[in-house]
């Protein structure tokens, strides 16, 4: 059994790859890029999620804590 080792590409190899990639992308004809429009399909209405019961707000908790603190003194 033998294993193949691949060296990390050098900066020249990377530049050449990117250059070729850009050339290929720029030569794609516009007709191939056009995405045909989908048929007019309406999305079903989603049901509203009921709001969860919320506890006291932070301000209310602080006020309550202050009242209790004064009552202890």
Rounded distance, CA 23 to CA 16, Å?
11
Record the pTM.
Answer: 0.35
Where do we find the tokens 């919320």?
54
Q: pLDDT of the chain along its 73 residues, tens only?
A: 567 888 898 999 999 999 999 998 888 776 656 677 777 767 778 788 887 778 888 899 999 999 998 888 7
To the nearest 10°, the Cα dihedral for 6, 7, 12, 15?
Answer: 50
């Amino acid at each position: 059994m033998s294993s193949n080792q691949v060296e990390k590409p050098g900066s020249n190899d990377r530049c050449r790859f990117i250059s070729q990639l850009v050339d290929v992308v720029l030569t794609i004809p516009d007709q191939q890029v056009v995405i045909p429009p989908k048929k007019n399909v309406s999305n079903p209405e989603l049901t509203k999620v009921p709001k969860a019961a919320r506890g006291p707000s932070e301000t209310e908790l602080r006020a309550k804590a202050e009242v209790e603190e004064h009552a202890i003194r």
